Amino acid sequence: MKQLLVSALLFFAFTPAYAAYLDSWRGEVDHKKAGSETWTRLEGDEKLRLGNGDELRTARASTAELLMEDGSRVKIAPVSSFRMTSEGKDAVSLGLYFGRVRSWVKKFSKKFEVRTPSAVCAVRGTDFMVASDQEGNSRVEVYDGSVLTGDAKGNASLVREGQFAEIPAGGRLREPSQNPNQPSDMNSSVGSPSQAARNEIYNEISKEDVISRAQEELQSAEFQSRKVAIDAFGNRVRMEEYVIRPADNQFKYVVLNTRQERFDFGKILFTFNSALPADLSLATRNMTSATGSATPQWQLTAMNSVMSNTLDRVTEDASGGKMVADNAGSPSEWTHFFTDYAVYASGPDQALENGGLGRKLWGYTDLNADNTVQTGEMTYLGGAAPAGSVTYPGGEDVFHTVTRNTYSDADNTWIEASDYVLFDSGDILSAGDFSSRLGVTMDTATDRLNFERVYTSSLFGGRKIDLEFSAKLLKDAGLLRF
């Protein structure tokens, strides 16, 4: 990765007459001179001149600030690897291998750009942040001015003040969207509570990590439920569920299942365009659809979810969310739409693919920005749409559905989801129960019902993901409506 980045920047002139200085730092910051293989730990408080090709790296709880000869300033966040590629009379070029940098560029100054393994960001006079993870995925946030951002395939877009854009490793630049995050102080390795919550969704899957996180979060949970029920296979399940707000524009639903010989969990993180109201239902009631001429105040911008047995997992990753009007000139109805959406699955062998999301089964990107999904915008594992089937093992009057997709890759990868609606006793709901066992409206009946989803796949090595969760908590949190 480093060699590719260096090669891409060779056309910049090496002009030692123009200098960048390491103005200040804290913690553990290492410096490597151009052409050397030796890293040196910085000590003292003397300002260090950085030559073209010099590199810096920061440890945890460590930062560094650079000052350019024209007065522009750059702050490097903890756990970052950075290269001072070149500074000349007319241009400055910086390289970010991974981590985050925030740049305050003087107006009417020389051309200024930051390059990552997947992105190029060029500006003249602005305040912006660039982040890159170790898989090469990049994110740009603009706090003042605008940044011309491009990907490795030549696609480019102007990211304006208050917006962000993401560039997946080897992929296409995603459409800039309104940024829900406040400008970062760059004192942590992640940009904001919003980003930290997203990282946690995908990266914490061991039983120890999940339970430890739950013990912390349950202290401030907005909704929570604990109960014991029987699953569709006659097993006793201890269910623990809660809803928490990791950031003012987010809420997260978590469910933990403990059986005698297994542990499964699920998490869904919802991110909105602005701070959520005290009454969460005001935002969730219009999360997928709304009526009226005015744009809904709260719009779901991203959704990240994982279901796992701590070894295998199914993840969903969606971004660019917004409400789309039925008639732009005279709207009366609004429907939610994600510009990017993808589903992944993995066993231990696929866990590191796609930046840790797993093997991509299918997804779409709204390439022409028309707020609809067209055939040419869909991608599938193996290149073609999977062969699918839907069956009702107990008959169409029984709430048990099995959906199976088989993909056309070389391994004929398949995944199957079995869905149940059932009572605490483990009995599966049927149409006749509404009169004989429930005898009430569906709204009230949810208090007595649970959902269960079971994933099996050729990727899971014979294992399954089996998660049961209550309808009542989903209803209380506004995620289930009647």
Average pLDDT, the chain: 87
Residue 71 lies in a domain: yes
pLDDT, average across residues 130-142: 87
pLDDT value of residue 4 = 34
Banded model confidence at residue 477, pLDDT cuts 50, 70, 90: low
* Six token digits for residue 364: 């779409």
CB atoms within 10 A of CB 275: 13
Residue 78 lies in a domain: yes
Asked if residue 437 and residue 354 are part of one domain, the reply reads yes
Distances (CA, A) of 61 to 132, 139, 153, 187, 203: 18, 21, 35, 7, 20
Q: Is the pLDDT of residue 420 over 90?
A: yes
Asked if residue 200 and residue 52 are part of one domain, the reply reads no
pLDDT, average across residues 30-35: 91
Q: Is the pLDDT of residue 2 over 60?
A: no
CATH number of the domain enclosing 30: 2.60.120.1440
Q: Is the pLDDT of residue 427 over 70?
A: yes
Enclosing domain of residue 84: 2-191
pLDDT value of residue 7 = 36
94 near 101, Cβ under 8 Å?
A: yes
Q: Rounded CA gap, 60 and 41, in Å? A: 14
pLDDT, average across residues 270-285: 90
Q: Is the pLDDT of residue 68 over 90?
A: no
Pairing of strands 91-105, 111-115: parallel
Residue 361 lies in a domain: yes
pLDDT, average across residues 87-111: 85
pLDDT, average across residues 184-190: 78
Residue 481 lies in a domain: no
pLDDT greater at residue 37 or residue 480? 37
Q: Rounded CA gap, 70 and 93, in Å? A: 14
Residue 53 lies in a domain: yes
CA-closest candidate to residue 262, choices 293, 224, 235: 235
Distances (CA, A) of 86 to 12, 121, 126, 234, 415: 7, 15, 19, 66, 49
pLDDT value of residue 356 = 81
Asked if residue 182 and residue 202 are part of one domain, the reply reads no
Residue 277 lies in a domain: yes
Asked which of 147, 173, 191 is the last residue of a domain, the reply is 191
pLDDT value of residue 88 = 75
Q: Is the pLDDT of residue 12 over 70?
A: no
113 near 127, Cβ under 8 Å?
A: no
Q: Is the pLDDT of residue 59 over 60?
A: yes
- Percent share of the chain, pLDDT over 90: 55
61 near 41, Cβ under 8 Å?
A: no
In this predicted structure, which of 82-86, 115-119, 220-224, 307-311 has the lowest mean pLDDT? 220-224
pLDDT value of residue 186 = 84
Q: Is the pLDDT of residue 55 over 80?
A: yes
Pairing of strands 236-244, 223-230: antiparallel
The pTM (predicted TM-score) of the whole model is 0.71
What is the b/e burial string over 20-31, where b = at least 16 CB atoms within 10 angstroms of the residue's CB? bebeebeeebbb
Asked if residue 289 and residue 145 are part of one domain, the reply reads no
Asked if residue 68 and residue 153 are part of one domain, the reply reads yes
Banded model confidence at residue 1, pLDDT cuts 50, 70, 90: very low
Asked if residue 258 and residue 170 are part of one domain, the reply reads no
pLDDT value of residue 178 = 84
Q: Is the pLDDT of residue 146 over 70?
A: yes
Pairing of strands 464-470, 322-325: unpaired
Asked which of 168, 191, 214 is the last residue of a domain, the reply is 191
3-state secondary structure of 473: helix
Banded model confidence at residue 440, pLDDT cuts 50, 70, 90: low
Q: Rounded CA gap, 139 and 176, in Å? A: 10
Asked if residue 461 and residue 437 are part of one domain, the reply reads yes
pLDDT value of residue 11 = 28
Distances (CA, A) of 168 to 87, 94, 159, 196: 28, 20, 16, 18
pLDDT greater at residue 26 or residue 440? 26
pLDDT, average across residues 397-411: 96
Q: Is the pLDDT of residue 424 over 80?
A: yes
* Count of domains forming the chain: 2
pLDDT, average across residues 53-75: 89
Q: Rounded CA gap, 421 and 392, in Å? A: 13
Residue 482 lies in a domain: no
42 near 22, Cβ under 8 Å?
A: yes
pLDDT, average across residues 119-145: 88
pLDDT, tens digit, 9 for 90 and up, residues 234-248: 999 999 999 999 888
392 near 401, Cβ under 8 Å?
A: yes
Asked which of 191, 220, 243 is the last residue of a domain, the reply is 191
Asked if residue 349 and residue 252 are part of one domain, the reply reads yes
Asked if residue 256 and residue 155 are part of one domain, the reply reads no
Banded model confidence at residue 281, pLDDT cuts 50, 70, 90: confident
Asked if residue 249 and residue 113 are part of one domain, the reply reads no
Q: Is the pLDDT of residue 13 over 80?
A: no
Asked if residue 159 and residue 13 are part of one domain, the reply reads yes
CA-closest candidate to residue 106, choices 91, 92, 121, 124: 124
Residue 366 lies in a domain: yes
Q: Is the pLDDT of residue 219 over 80?
A: yes
Q: Is the pLDDT of residue 28 over 70?
A: yes
Banded model confidence at residue 10, pLDDT cuts 50, 70, 90: very low
What is the b/e burial string over 195-204, where b = at least 16 CB atoms within 10 angstroms of the residue's CB? bebbebbbeb
Question: Tokens 């990907």 label which residue?
Answer: 151
Distances (CA, A) of 463 to 308, 454, 455, 457, 466: 11, 10, 9, 8, 10
Asked if residue 233 and residue 326 are part of one domain, the reply reads yes
Task: Specify which residues 256 forms β-bridges with.
Answer: 240, 265
